[in-house]
A and B are shown apart, each in its own frame.
Chain A
Amino acid sequence: MLTQKYRLHDKNILAWLAVVTAALLWFLLYNMAQPFANWLSYGLLRSEADSQLGESLAFFFYDVPKILLLLGGMIFLITTLRSFFSPEQTRAWLGGKREGVGNLLAASLGVVTPFCSCSAVPLFIGFVESGIPLGVTFSFLTAAPMVNEVALVMLLGLFGWKVAGMYMASGITIAILAGIVIGRMKLENQVEDFVWQIKANHAQGMTYRPTWSERFTNSWQSTREIVGKVWMYVVVGIAIGAGIHGYVPESALVSIMGKNAWWSVPVAVLIGVPLYSNAAGILPIASVLIEKGAALGTVLAFMMAVVGLSLPEMIILRRVLKPKLITIFIATLTIGIIAIGYFFNIIL
């Protein structure tokens, strides 16, 4: 027993050492990205510093390593942070909370609790079955996909922490309001009947407390999985963005995507919905569009439509929600996202 305990201890120390070494290496690489891009584009490839081609190349070779490093590092950090939360714990915290406080808490916990749309149904049933109000449950179900880790990191890398913060705050705000609206509409009868008949055996519920070594191993696995899925989109997106950056004249897009083009926000949302999970490829293009005169609110609305209004998730939720409630849910989110887009276009 004693030796087993020591072995566990050693494993955790080794895991920490590996993470600290990786972090140092990460910082080194991250700081080398700019000099490396300049050397590659102006030195090795001999393009002129002020030429269109030179600007495009330098942009591409700087953004690709920067964004991929940010994605890897931040997603590892976020998944490790999330390993301290669990849906069971979240449900316990939400139990007995009133409207308002409950919605705020649910939306915030939606950001940090590990969530996969494939688990949306058990989570939904688990929430309502334990007596958490429908509105509070919807606040959680809105925030969880809407504040997406890949989108957050890409916004941080391409636009800075202010825009990333605005995105997160908007996501939480929409989740709170959508939850309150749905809660007020008294739609309990629009939940599939079998949900109300389920009486879970509460003695069985379990929470697992992983060791540090397990946390890091799991985070490393999910980081590899996520980055492996999106890196192609990132590279292609940045390549297109780099082309626009170098070749399209400044403020060329003011008239079609600027603040004064009122229709750009709803159009952005409409285009965003079918692009589910391709945020990674679209954001680099969006960032260059802003440079050429597109409005930030439009881009944020677009971003939230891409990640928050996902068709696959709605299809999964259809198992527990009647069509009317699904429609109301989608409509509420759409209106909320469009409103946020206009809001930022007006105040910025």
Chain B
Amino acid sequence: MLTIKILGSGCENCKKLAYLAERAVIHLGVEAEIIKVTDYKDIMAYNIMSTPGLVINEKLVSAGRIPSQDEIAVLITTELEKV
């Protein structure tokens, strides 16, 4: 089971990233839980300085930018292969 976290206070870019992550998950046909982390205390635990952040299985994979749907798919498969 994959856990994907979107770090961000609910700004436009965070919503865009959440949408793309959802699309990537559906496209790959994997089972995943997408959690939006909006509390700054929790966001800062990942030591990011610009939002949105993308966390896959507790690993920060991008911050301060919106990766494309394809890139998110690649990031997800890389994490899945590790398991």
Chain A interface residues (CB < 8 Å from chain B): 86-88, 91, 114, 116, 118-119, 121-123, 125-127, 129, 194, 198, 200-202, 204-206, 208, 218, 316, 319-320
Chain A residues with Cβ below 8 Å from B63 are: 206, 208
- Minimum CB–CB distance from A315 to chain B (whole Å) comes to 11
With A91-B49, A116-B50 known to touch, is A121 a contact of B40 (CB < 8 Å)?
Answer: yes
Contact of B44 (CB < 8 Å), options: A86, A87, A198, A206: A198
Chain A residues with Cβ below 8 Å from B50 are: 86-87, 114, 116, 119, 122-123
B62 within 8 Å of A by Cβ?
A: yes
Complex Cα–Cα for A290 and B61 (A): 50
Complex Cα–Cα for A205 and B13 (A): 20
Contact between chains at A118 and B51 (CB < 8 Å)? yes
B60 within 8 Å of A by Cβ?
A: yes
Chain B residues with Cβ below 8 Å from A206 are: 60, 62-63
Contact between chains at B64 and A119 (CB < 8 Å)? yes
Which residues B29-83 have CB closer than 8 A to chain A? Answer: 40-41, 43-51, 60, 62-65
Interface string of B7-43 (1 = CB under 8 A from A): 0110111000000000000000000000000001101
Number of B residues contacting the other chain (C-beta, 8 Å)? 21
Contact between chains at B44 and A200 (CB < 8 Å)? yes
Query: A200-B44, A316-B9 provided; 5 other pairs, C-beta below 8 A?
Result: A118-B13, A122-B44, A123-B49, A126-B48, A129-B44
Complex Cα–Cα for A312 and B79 (A): 37
List of 6 A-B pairs having minimum Cβ-Cβ separation, nearest first: A118-B11, A200-B47, A126-B49, A87-B49, A119-B50, A205-B47
Contact between chains at A88 and B49 (CB < 8 Å)? yes
Chain A residues with Cβ below 8 Å from B47 are: 126, 200-202, 204-205
Contact between chains at B64 and A87 (CB < 8 Å)? yes
- Minimum CB–CB distance from A140 to chain B (whole Å) comes to 11
Chain B residues with Cβ below 8 Å from A86 are: 50, 64
Instruction: Provide the main secondary structure of the chain B interface.
Output: loop
Could you say which of A86, A119, A127, A201 has the most chain B C-beta atoms within 10 Å of its C-beta?
Answer: A119
- Minimum CB–CB distance from A144 to chain B (whole Å) comes to 11
Contact between chains at B45 and A121 (CB < 8 Å)? no
Chain B residues with Cβ below 8 Å from A123 are: 49-50
Chain B residues with Cβ below 8 Å from A320 are: 40
Contact between chains at A208 and B62 (CB < 8 Å)? yes
Contact between chains at B64 and A125 (CB < 8 Å)? no
Determine the residue in chain B with the shortest Cβ distance to A126: B49
Chain A residues with Cβ below 8 Å from B51 are: 118-119, 122
- Minimum CB–CB distance from A251 to chain B (whole Å) comes to 45
Complex Cα–Cα for A200 and B48 (A): 9
With A129-B44, A200-B44 known to touch, is A122 a contact of B62 (CB < 8 Å)?
Answer: no
Contact between chains at B40 and A201 (CB < 8 Å)? no
Contact between chains at B60 and A121 (CB < 8 Å)? no
Contact between chains at A319 and B45 (CB < 8 Å)? no
Contact between chains at B41 and A119 (CB < 8 Å)? no
Complex Cα–Cα for A266 and B65 (A): 38
Chain B residues with Cβ below 8 Å from A114 are: 50, 64
Chain A residues with Cβ below 8 Å from B8 are: 118
Could you say which of B45, B46, B49 has the most chain A C-beta atoms within 10 Å of its C-beta?
Answer: B49
Complex Cα–Cα for A119 and B13 (A): 10
With A119-B50, A206-B63, A208-B62 known to touch, is A126 a contact of B11 (CB < 8 Å)?
Answer: no
Contact between chains at B65 and A119 (CB < 8 Å)? no
Contact between chains at A122 and B40 (CB < 8 Å)? yes
Chain A residues with Cβ below 8 Å from B11 are: 116, 118
Determine the residue in chain B with the shortest Cβ distance to A200: B47
Chain B residues with Cβ below 8 Å from A194 are: 40-41
Determine the residue in chain B with the shortest Cβ distance to A194: B41
Complex Cα–Cα for A233 and B48 (A): 34
Contact between chains at B64 and A126 (CB < 8 Å)? no
Determine the residue in chain B with the shortest Cβ distance to A117: B11
Contact of B9 (CB < 8 Å), options: A88, A91, A121: A121
